[in-house]
Structure 1
Amino acid sequence: MSFRTDPAAARASIPARVAARVNRTTWVDVAVAAAVLVLLYITLRVGQGTTVRFSTSRSLHIDTDPARLPYDAARSLLRMFLALAASTVFTFCYACAAARSRRLERILIPALDILQSVPVLGFLTVAVTGFIALFPGSMLGLECASIFAIFTSQAWNMAFGFYYSLTSLPRELDELSRSFRFTRWMRFWKVELPSGAIGLVWNGMMSFGGGWFFLVASEAISVNRRNYALPGIGSYAGAAIAAGDLGKIGLAILTMAVMVIGVNFLFWRPLTARAERFRNEQSEATEVQRSYVLDFLRRSSWPRLLGRLLRPVGHALSRAGRILGVDDRPLLVDPVRRRTGDLVFAAVAGGLILWGLVDLAGYLRHHTGFGVFGEPLLLGLATLARVVVVVVAATVIWVPVGVRIGFSPRLTRIAQPLVQILASFPANFLFPLAVWFFLRTGLSLDVGGVLLMALGAQWYILFNTIAGAMSIPSDLREAMDDMGVRGWQRWQRLILPGIFPSYVTGGITASGGAWNASIVSEVVPFAGTTLTATGLGAYIAESTARGDFPHLIAGVAVMSLYVVGLNRLFWRRLYRLAETRYAP
């Protein structure tokens, strides 16, 4: 005898099940609902300040009254999370497009190298003008420009990391999804996203820290001899630094620490604990990460209810994929047609790029001539030396530390907030101490700038190493313990092959982050005193402040040339090695 459920009756019973769930509401459900309502209320109240009137003819005054710090902190947090949301959507779209299309991959991945090499100030120069023109007379234009600047400090690292997780998907998972004829949506949601969840969360955490690092530059904007400032903890700290008020600088540092710890406890710690369930291993880990917030949410029925309400959306996307023929079945394509399509695609893309280069060359020839590239090319060598020192030192110091943290969930719980604070700490906040130290010791910024650059770059290696170590199955580590493999042999046979792909991702982004950090590390102002190092970062920062667009374009172009060249000659070779030899 067989029993069948009427689909119509099942659909009709959904409101009844929802009503029954509501009747079983506990105090935890009430607390979660109240917290969500409070969060929405705060967001709406803070968001009201983003649409006030604004005139480009006057400079905005930043009120450094300590009573304004809670509001300024809320405005900065709103920008950071909006930028993170945009970065996540961009990561999924960009990485999936590059991983699933060989034609797009040939353009998108080199473009990603170029995009991560363009400094935040390079994006800001264009973004401020464009968004102010898009929203004339409204503060929303400056808000969008600031969010876009934070987005550019987050998105590239996340996109590259998720792209690697897609291209290195375990073969058995790939074959399983194809044998079950998953649509692309099902493959993404059921296979690809869980497989890359750990790396995505840790790269997102690191990128969020990168946004904190450039918060002063994105909220206190100086372009074309005009100063634009938005209420926020970054602009507050910038105003306090310019005034040399050490007390208010200390309050800004304290507020920043509270914000970082709070975001880590309420947001990142639950995500990292949740990502533990996506580890690819045969045996259960003896010790897993815990989160009090996640444990509290699991006691609530709201997440399950929300999942049930959103489940029809996933089914609709899967049905749409099948109707449109968007699946992962291999298509038999005529090789001649494939080559013809590749040639047409390359011709169109090459034509657009050539047209842009010709127009740019005409602009530079008319204003400065092509000799403008000589000075930034020489200055780039000095910045290149600092970048190499930062990456080598970060590798030697932080790879062993990251492995130790990633192998120990208990140590991860202790170290994660501390590492997050250090990674999120803007170098600008240390300018008063840096200026005092450099002047007191006579240390040149040409050497001391390496320390400031390291604050914005070394953490990419640490975070990716932690993610790589966490992704190594615990059963492999236990097997090594049983066989008595210790010391260098353990590193050679297990640890280095396991973390190598993640380290390459961290190395590429750390190198790009060091180039980007050179802009705020080679020019250090405090209370009327400005220290300047010889380098490409200082060249770009000074060109931006003067509004000298030809020299700014030359500096950005040379920095992109150095970053892309370094990636192609060194990092990409390591990436191909990781893809061919150390892929799962």
Structure 2
Amino acid sequence: MSDASASLPLAARIAGIAPPPTQRPRTARLDGTRFALLSWLVPLTIVLVWEAAARAGLLSLQVLPAPSRVLRTALDLIAEGRLVSDMGVSLLRAAVGFVIGGSIGFVLGTLVGFSRLAEALLDRSIQMVRAIPFLALLPLVIVWFGVDEGGKIFLVALGVAFPIYINTVLGIRQVDPKLIELGRVIGLDNWALVRRIVLPGALPSILTGVRYALATAWLALVVAETIATTSGIGFLAMDAREFLRTDVIVLAIVVYALIGMSADAITRTLERRLLAWHPNFSKSTA
């Protein structure tokens, strides 16, 4: 057995999945670069059309300021130190909430995925809580946590837990039973079976849940930062609303979008590294 094959998860080796080539052909890399550049064509076109419409007077400053004005506002706020500070606060809230909610979602998803008893005891209650909108919880969160950081982190953790929970359960249930049976035949104990077959097989679904959870984390954070607060990107937008600073509001939206896009790109890179043994992910150029 080659060193490359030995490093694959057992689930991949049993299924007969060959290791990916150590280096993609030059033409494949060039195609990947072209597609990456092409993916920016539509966003850049929208920004240019937006700028032209604003300069031509088709868009009012109070309705939608030009991208150049939003950029100047961003530079001014960075010079003041305000934008960086508020971004840091929002990122910290999102990170803490993501770790807490993601851990809870993964543990519960693993329990329910492996145990029908756990599913009977937990799944219905979890699905009922998942159906509650964030805005409906705001009054109760204020009663529970006041306007401290705990309430904001709670909302983020709550939103993150469900996508990871659902995709963890789905991933575990979709592992091929023949692989599990073959693992038992070759003498794997329960822990080795989980570690070397079930979790690697469920990993694509779990990482998809992480991507959904990151998007939900920012949605929950926007809602959370409407609670009385004095810092964060959400506060920056709410404060700008009071003074009709549309440029600052648009800037806050753009910052949320850029952070979310960056987090998604990190997750996709993680997918390609952790799932290099999987043919569908080893060919990905995204």
TM range (shorter): 0.5 to 0.7
Inter-partner Cα distance in structure 2 for 1:453 and 1:344? 33
TM-score (norm 1): 0.36
Matched, 1:352 2:45: yes
Matched, 1:571 2:278: no
Gap change, CA 1:345 and 1:507, over 3 Å in 2: closer
Inter-partner Cα distance in structure 2 for 1:385 and 1:369? 20
String of CA shifts for 1:67-107, please: whole Å, max 9, x gaps. xxxxxxxxxxxxxxxxxxxxxxxxxxxxxxxxxxxxxxxxx
| 8 Å CA contact 1:383, 1:515 repeated in 2 | no
* Count of matched residue positions in the alignment of Structure 1 and Structure 2: 239
- Match of residue 161 from structure 2: 458
Matched, 1:427 2:134: yes
- Match of residue 231 from structure 1: none
Q: Secondary structure at the match of 1:523?
A: coil
- Match of residue 436 from structure 1: 143
Gaps of 5+ in 1: 1-169, 173-334, 525-530
Q: 2:106 aligns with which of 391, 399, 406?
A: 399
Matched, 1:477 2:184: no
String of CA shifts for 1:305-335, please: whole Å, max 9, x gaps. xxxxxxxxxxxxxxxxxxxxxxxxxxxxxx9
Inter-partner Cα distance in structure 2 for 1:539 and 1:415? 39
Gap change, CA 1:485 and 1:393, over 3 Å in 2: farther
Gaps of 5+ in 2: 1-14, 18-27, 53-65, 281-286
- Match of residue 539 from structure 1: 236
Gap change, CA 1:345 and 1:495, over 3 Å in 2: closer
Gap change, CA 1:437 and 1:461, over 3 Å in 2: same
- Match of residue 148 from structure 2: 445
Inter-partner Cα distance in structure 1 for 2:152 and 2:40? 44
Gap change, CA 1:403 and 1:478, over 3 Å in 2: farther
% same residue: 22
Inter-partner Cα distance in structure 2 for 1:386 and 1:518? 8
Gap change, CA 1:352 and 1:430, over 3 Å in 2: closer
Matched, 1:495 2:198: yes
String of CA shifts for 1:240-263, please: whole Å, max 9, x gaps. xxxxxxxxxxxxxxxxxxxxxxxx
Which has the higher mean CA deviation after the structures are superposed, 551-560 or 473-482?
473-482
Higher relative contact order (CA 8 A, sep 6+): 2
Matched, 1:385 2:92: yes
- Deviation (angstroms), 1:428: 3.1
Amino acid at match of 1:364: V
Amino acid at match of 2:272: R
Gap change, CA 1:498 and 1:533, over 3 Å in 2: farther
Q: 2:225 aligns with which of 522, 528, 539?
A: 522
Inter-partner Cα distance in structure 2 for 1:451 and 1:533? 18
- Match of residue 364 from structure 1: 70
String of CA shifts for 1:243-293, please: whole Å, max 9, x gaps. xxxxxxxxxxxxxxxxxxxxxxxxxxxxxxxxxxxxxxxxxxxxxxxxxxx
| 8 Å CA contact 1:501, 1:583 repeated in 2 | no
Inter-partner Cα distance in structure 2 for 1:347 and 1:474? 42
- Match of residue 143 from structure 1: none
Which structure has the larger Rg over C-alpha atoms?
1
- Deviation (angstroms), 1:416: 3.3
Q: How do 1:6-45 residues align onto structure 2 when only pairs under 5 Å count?
A: none
- Deviation (angstroms), 1:406: 2.2
Structure 1 vs Structure 2 CA RMSD: 3.7
Q: Secondary structure at the match of 1:534?
A: coil
- Deviation (angstroms), 1:536: 1.6
TM-score (norm 2): 0.68
